[in-house]
Structures are given as C-alpha cells and as structure tokens.
Amino acid sequence: MAASVESLGGAWSTVTAGLLPCRGQTKAPPTDAVLKSAIAVLDHHGVTFIIEEWFLDSLQADLRENIGPAFWNHFSSESNGPKQHGADGTLVTAFRELHASLSSYLPSVDVLERLRQEGAKQRLKDKVLLIFKALLFYDIPLKFHGVVKEFYSCAFKACEEELRKKEKASPGEDGPEEEEEDGDEDSLTCGGCEHDKEHCTCTETLTLFHQLNSQLHSLGLLERVCGEAVTAIIHDRIQQHIQNTCQGEFESQFLLPLEKWLNSKVLSWLHLVFKGTPGQTGEREVSAKTQESLDRWQTRLLYFLYQTYGTLRISEMFDIIVEFPDSMSALEDLKVCLEKTDLRQTLVSSLRSAIGRRLLQPGATTSDVLSQYILLVKSLRVLDPTGVLLELVGDRIRHYLRTRDDTVRKIVEGLTEEEGGSDLADELMKGDPISLEEGVEEEGGDPWAWNKWEPDPIDADPSKTSKSRRSPDIISLLISIYGSKELFIKEYQSVLCNRILSFNYDLTRELRNLELLKLRFGESQLGNCEVMLKDVQDSKRVNDLIKSENLMEGVAVSGMIISAQYWPQLKETKLALPPAVQQRFDSYTQAFQTVKASRTLNWLPQMGLVDLDIELKNRRLSVMVNPVVATIIMHFQDKERWTLDELSTAMQVPSSVLRRRITFWQNYGLIRENPPGSYVLLEEGADHHGDVMIDSDEETESATASSQEMREEEMQMFWVYVQGMLTNLDSLPLERIHSMLKMFAMRDNPIEISLPELKAFLDSKVRSQQLLLSGGKYKLPKNR
C-alpha cells in the first residue's frame, strides 16, 4: 500500500513538472516518455480527471501573480509614453513577452486535450484563451488605449505612404484623383513617419505592425485590443478626408469617389490588420466569425462615411440653397445620404436654425426673404419630392413673411416683372399650375399607377394631405401663406394702378401677365384689372382722335381716362392748378365731350406726369415731374419769391407736403430757401443739360390708398356703431360689442372685423382718450 502511494505521488510530481512552464528553473523538465508513464499511473488510480482542473487553477494563479503584472508593468512607467512604438517600444515588447508566456502553456494544452473524454462541449484551448482574456483584460488602464492608438495611427500613415509610393512608381487609373492629397513631392519630410526621407522608418513600422497583428491573432486578442483604436483612427481619417476634399465644393458629386477611396485605401488597411499581407507568408487564415465581423465593420464604416458627408452638407445647407441650381450635385449627394442615414431631423433643426440666424433678420429685405424661400422650395424638392421637409423647414419663413406689411406687394411685383427678371415671373410663364402637379393621378391616367404609390415619411404631418405637399407650384405655395387669393388680386390691382398712373408700364407685357394670372385666379376675379387695361387702350384712342381732329391747340394734354368704379381707391389730395394749365384741362374736357357725346370728365390733377422745358438766363432744363412739383415751379413765373404759406394757399396743398416737394428744385439749384420759410427763384446757376428724371421718392410714391389707410377708413364705420351702443347702454365688454357689431354692422356688409382686431382698435381709442376702459368694460368719457 505504501509503495502504491509513493508511486502515485511521484507520478503527480512528474505530471505537474511536465505540464507547467519551467521559467527560471535549472532542472530539466521530464521527457515525453516519462510524462506519458506518469499519466498512465494516474489513470490507473482513476485520478486523471483532476489534472485539467489543477492546470487551469495553476494558469489563473500564474496570470494573476506573474504574467499579468509583468505585462501591465510596461504601461505603468511615466517614461514609457505612447510615442515609443519602435523596435524597443512599449506595445510591441509587451505583447511579444505576453505571446511567449502563453505559448509556453500551449504544448501542455495539447497533451491535456488528448486526455479529455470525447464529447466535451468546449475545447480546452478555447477555455484557456477565454481565461487568459478574462483575467488579463478585465481592467485596462487608460494609458494602454493611448499607446495602441498611437501605434496603429503611425502604422496607418506608413501604410498610406507606401501605397502612395507604389502609385507614383506605377500610376494607374486612380492616380490623378489623389494628386491633390499627395502633398508636396519635393518635401524633405516623409509623409508617413514625419522623419527626414533619408531616415524614414515606415518600413520598420510596417514590419512591427505585421508582427504585432500576427501575435494578437494567435492570442485571439486582435479585435479585442485594436478594434477601438482602429475604429477611431479610420473615423478620424474619413472625417479629415471629407473635410479636405468636399468642404465648400457644391458643383461636383463626391459620394462615388468617396466610396472608391474607402474601399481602396481604408478598407485595404483594415484587411491588412486582420488578414495580413495577401500572397505573402504573413497572410493569415480568417475564421468565418472574423470574416463576418469584417463585413459588419465595412458596413458600419460605409454608414459612417454617409453620415459624415451628410453632416458636412447639412452644415452648409444654407449656402447650398443660395447657390442653387449650381449646387444641384451637392443636393443629389445629400439626398442619397438622407436615404441611408437618420439625418432628416438633424437637417430640419440645423436648417431652421440657420434660416433664423442668417435670413429672418430686420436687415433682410422682403424681396431677399422671398427669393431665398423660392430657392429653398426648389432645393428641398430635390431632397424630398414628398414635400415633408419643405413643410417642416419652410413653415418658419412663411410665418415670418406674414408679419411683414409689404409681402403681398413684393410677391405681386415679382410676378409681374419682365420675363427673366425674377423667379416668380419665370414661374408665372409656366402657365396652368394644374399641369405642374406631381404625384396626383389624373382622370384617364394609367389604371395601374396605384402600384407606384409610396406613403409619406414618418415625420409628415397627418393633418395635411399628400397632394398639397407634392405640388411643385411655387406661386401656389406663396399664395397659401395668406390662404386667400382675394388679397393678392386686390394687391395686383393696386400695383397695376400705380404702374399705369405713373406711366411706367408696357401694355403688351401687362396684357400677357393678366392672361397668365387668369389661368391661376380665374377670369371673374380679374375682371376689374381687365377693365383697367381696356381704359388704357381707350384713352390712347381718344387722345389720338382728339389730336387728329385738331380739337385742341397750344400745350398738349394727354388724358388717362379711367372708369373709377373699377379702379382701386385713389388718394384724395387737392391741387389747384395755375389758370393757364386749368384752361388746357377745360379745353380737353370740351374736346372729349365732342368725341364722347353725353359724357364728361372729373379730373384728378394730382395724378400723372408733366414734361417741362425751363429756360433761365444762362441755362435750359428739361425735366419730367409729377403735377405738384410742376405746379410749384410754374408759380415762380408770376413772382420770384414765395413764402411757404402763400404757396400752400395758392396750390391748396398742405405745407408739410410742399416743403418735401420743393426740395426737388432745391437739389437742382433752381430754388433757394432764404430766409427760412421763404423761397426765391435762382435765375443764374450751374448748367444742367439733357433730360433729368424725377427722383426715386417721387417716382415710387403710390397713387392708391394703402391697405392700412383703407382699413382705417373701414374701421371708422364700426366706430360710429360703437359710439351709438355706448351712448345708449353706457358700458359694454369687448365680447358684447363684437357680437352686436356682427348682428347689426356686419349682417349686410361684406366688411368684417375679428375680435383681436376690434380689441386693438378700441385700445387705440382708449389711448387717444376717446374711450375709457374700466373693469373690462368700455364706455364713453363723460365730458364729450
């Protein structure tokens, strides 16, 4: 029995000595024959099952006490910074020693693998590697990540430099594409290692790179150690390349070249990390799991490429819109990025912010805002034909345009400019907006068109129809800002009236615009405008007839005869003409009565233009001015000095208006104010030859009453009703006043007033002390 125990103990000692590495021991390990004999003894006693458990416990103890501390000690010294990545550097040395330590256990693993019973669920080698990684890398110091990233970053630069050298030695199809990125060929510094070219270390770095990858691969640590660093390096390289190549360039498409660059330069380096150099001894066999991981990595990097490029274009989106249509290539690229990434919300928030910061400012004119909105519509139609992006982004501009008083006028002026003068004029020339609609099945269309239907994006507003979003008609979008065509028709009448009465119009163009507008608004809506243009034609015929019949002599007078009930309300300002001029007007009226029996004229002397030839002592001046300005200078024919009050009484024009008008002649040196309030004619002065046109202030003054002036006049009708209510009922709250106005004032009257508008009107009366507000009720002051 004692001999048996001694034999068992000796066998165990032999097995332990043979399976554990002999680091630092002078005694030679047992031979394979001795080890097999000892294992046979243990097997005879039925205790071989404890060998594997003991081996794994011993391995874990060695990892905790020796291997692990020795490995991490390489990264604990402050002297070993991340820049030490050469032949004696931290990272390569540490993993070389680690690989040697683990390799010393692998023969024993093979011996124990043969002793295992068949049907074991997990290979012993896999279990050893799992323990190895779990104990060694459960807590990684931060410095280690810096060392790994620095090493692979240098290796990536060295790999790029070697590839660049090969392309220069044998230029292929892709050579010219990277010409700008190659840098200065005459530089004395290597682009990879940043050393002098005579002392370039790129080759040594790549050698260490392949050695380290091979060691990590055999340890099963390749992706675990370098995965995060490689991802960060590739991401930085993609961002840098896109920034340097694409920023500010909107006229070319970059996605295909970027994908080609990613596959040829970046992914080839990634394959070097995991597979080694193809066709050489360093090439490694890759498991199906690793290949699957590589495929996923490639997909993620391609996604990151789209995301980075899309983010860059989104940050430049405002400038891209300004450059449209030259930036069409950038928009088409961004459209692909939006389809492959989740950047739609980023685009919406970024563009809304840029619009608010760079466009919707008091310094921007309404025309600029409208032009930018039109470009926004065209640009976003390229990105999203469904119109959802336009709905989300353009809503802010639409709300802002509603707050500007001149928006409607600027839209109408843009529509009626000369062809090519504005985007709106070009849109109007396209004709019937119905023919421009997209995505709507027309009657008699393809009965199988239903299979081309696509739902709206998930961020679409469910309360709005797809048809309204998909319509590309920009004019309809602008009209929908106010939701009413009547407002635009009314403004068009006003614009047309101002053009006609200032004689700044082309009849052929105005007739063409009218016909185009009829296609959008209907003939019945524009009947008044048609009469206005007919009045122009009739006036020309009447003037020609009076001239041909010699019905007038002396100063030529050409009348613009308007049918007042069809024209917008004109400004009612008085003007007393000089007797000689008034006589010519009376002669024209008599001539008109001769041509048009039983009809007469009611003159508006403040409207129109006067062509004057002024002769002074040493100069002659030809000017074209409005009647008020002309009447001023004609009064100086009678006497050379006038006071402002005298001139105001003679012309029946307010002094404030006269003071502003008389500055025209002061600017041209014909009249001087001396002393203040008294004006004198200057017979001698600087010469002014040729025709002089009226200044911009005079030229652009509106002949029609503004919408605000017309609204104030309408509100006076409601004021009469309010006064009557408060006289009879003493005091009333706002809601009661509004309901009574709806019952009595608005029942048979097309003019309406909203509750907020009524409140603003009554509050203005309170401020002017025409009403009192007490306890939420309005009443008239007692001292009325």
Q: In terms of C-beta density within 10 A (0-12 exposed, 13-18 middle, 19 or more buried), how is residue 104 classed? A: middle
473-507 pLDDT, tens digit per residue, is: 788 888 888 777 888 888 888 888 888 888 888 88
CA distance 139 to 71: 13
pLDDT at position 52: 79
Check if the beta carbon of residue 74 is closer than 8 Å to that of residue 98: no
Question: SS3 for 679?
Answer: strand
Region of 730 please: left (phi>0), alpha (psi -120 to 50) or beta. left
Within 10 Å of residue 666's Cβ, how many Cβ atoms?
13
pLDDT at position 448: 55
**Strand bridging mode 610-615 / 641-643:** unpaired
pLDDT at position 784: 57
Token pair 């993993």 is at which residue? 95
Within 10 Å of residue 441's Cβ, how many Cβ atoms?
12
pTM as predicted: 0.71
pLDDT at position 555: 63
Spans in the chain with pLDDT lower than 70: 1-6, 22-30, 32, 77-89, 115-122, 167-189, 191-199, 277-287, 290, 419-421, 431-472, 549-555, 685-713, 746-751, 783-784
Closest listed residue to residue 778, CA positions, set 763, 728, 768: 763
**Strand bridging mode 610-615 / 620-625:** antiparallel
CA–CA distance from 88 to each of 95, 253, 344, 783 (Å)? 12, 46, 50, 104
Q: In terms of C-beta density within 10 A (0-12 exposed, 13-18 middle, 19 or more buried), how is residue 484 classed? A: exposed
Question: SS3 for 287?
Answer: coil
pLDDT at position 705: 54
Closest listed residue to residue 89, CA positions, set 77, 74, 111, 71: 74
pLDDT at position 255: 93
Torsions phi, psi for 70 (to 5 deg): -65, -35
| Helix residue spans in 116-173 (DSSP H) | 124-136, 142-169
Closest listed residue to residue 217, CA positions, set 110, 289, 265, 162: 289
CA distance 483 to 469: 15
pLDDT at position 465: 56
Q: In terms of C-beta density within 10 A (0-12 exposed, 13-18 middle, 19 or more buried), how is residue 691 classed? A: exposed
Number of H helices, E strands in the chain: 33, 9
CA distance 451 to 474: 28
Q: Which two tokens stand for residue 559?
A: 């009348």
pLDDT at position 710: 60
Question: SS3 for 623?
Answer: strand
CA distance 248 to 237: 19
